[in-house]
Amino acid sequence: MTLRVADSFLLDDGRVRGLDLHRERFTGSCAAEGVATDDFWADTLARLPRGGRWFPRVELSGTGLSLRLRTAPPLGGQVAVSLYDGPDPRVAPKVKGPDLDVLGNLKALATKESGADEVLLTSPAGVVLEAAYSGLLWWEGDTLCVPPGDLPILPSVTVRLLRGLADERGVEVAERARTLPDLAGQEAWLVSALHGIRPVATWLSGPPAGPARRAADWQLALRRLARPLPPAP
């Protein structure tokens, strides 16, 4: 099965963070493939359970649109992150789906070789991009930083939610091109729809990571963004 587009979100007792943003990303990528999703999305929302913890994934593959209803895995905490320094294996960095398998293989290899929880991708010039299954943010003083949007990075829903929270809190957000050594001593987060915020505890074979002073407060604020699904028909 060739996966053309995918999107996943945490569904916890019928509540989801950023559902409209997930829909926007998924439907936009499907539209670029010439596939309309309005009826499929409405049917998907009706089929989702309103109780329990789930990690559903909507997909567009060679056989069409489908829903995979998966039990949510346990939430992770602080992470050890290794650096992938080979050629970029992704074929569609701005679209979630086509590269999930190859990124999963990179992550599995990093876990096997170094015990890493995640693996960081960088540009040919060494600029930090994102992890295999996570977006990247870090702090420089009181400024929340993200890689520049013109880099080959997936448009992360969780990053968008955190940027919105920063705006509400009056926190400056800056797009900055940084190498991994530039992040020495800085509080850095890997973020995803499943885990929310996971502070980087260790850059394996990299610079020292900074203490996670802000992560717990922002994780709580992120969780409070979850909203109930529309009532099932």
Q: What would the pLDDT profile of 32-53 be if each residue is shown by its tens digit?
A: 999 999 999 999 999 999 999 9
Rounded Cα distance, 147 and 152, in Å: 10
Predicted pLDDT of residue 159 = 98
Which two structure tokens, joined as six digits, stand for 189? Answer: 């987060």
- Burial group, residue 204, by CB count within 10 angstroms (0-12, 13-18, 19+): middle
Q: What is the DSSP string of 99-150?
A: THHHHHHHHHHHHHHH--SEEEEE-TT-BEEEESS-EEEEEETTEEEE--TT
Indicate whether 233 pLDDT > 80.
Answer: no
Residue 27: pLDDT band by 50, 70, 90 thresholds? Answer: very high
* Residue 191 pLDDT greater than 80, yes or no: yes
pLDDT band at 93 (very low <50, low <70, confident <90, very high): very high
pLDDT score, position 127: 98
Task: Give the per-residue pLDDT at 1.
Answer: 63
Mean pLDDT score of the chain? 97
Q: What is the pTM of this model?
A: 0.96
The CA distance from 187 to 193, in Å, is 20
Residue the block writes with tokens 């409070």: 224
Q: What is the pLDDT of residue 2?
A: 86
Q: State the Cα–Cα distance between residues 184 and 156, nearest whole angstrom.
A: 24
Residue range 203-211: average pLDDT? Answer: 96
Is the per-residue pLDDT at 232 higher than 90? no
List the Cα angle 106/79/52 in 5-degree steps. 90
Q: Is the dihedral of CA 202, 125, 149, 68 positive or negative?
A: negative
Confidence label for 231 from pLDDT (cuts 50, 70 and 90): confident
- Residue pair 208/87 in contact (Cβ under 8 Å)? The answer is no
Percent share of the chain, pLDDT over 70: 99
Q: Which domains does the chain have, with CATH numbers?
A: 3-73 (3.30.470.10), 79-222 (3.20.10.10)
pLDDT digits (tens, 9 = 90+) for 142-182: 999 999 999 999 999 999 999 999 999 999 999 999 999 99
Nearest-angstrom CA–CA distance, 189 and 100: 21
Summarize the confidence of residues 46-72 as an average pLDDT. Answer: 97
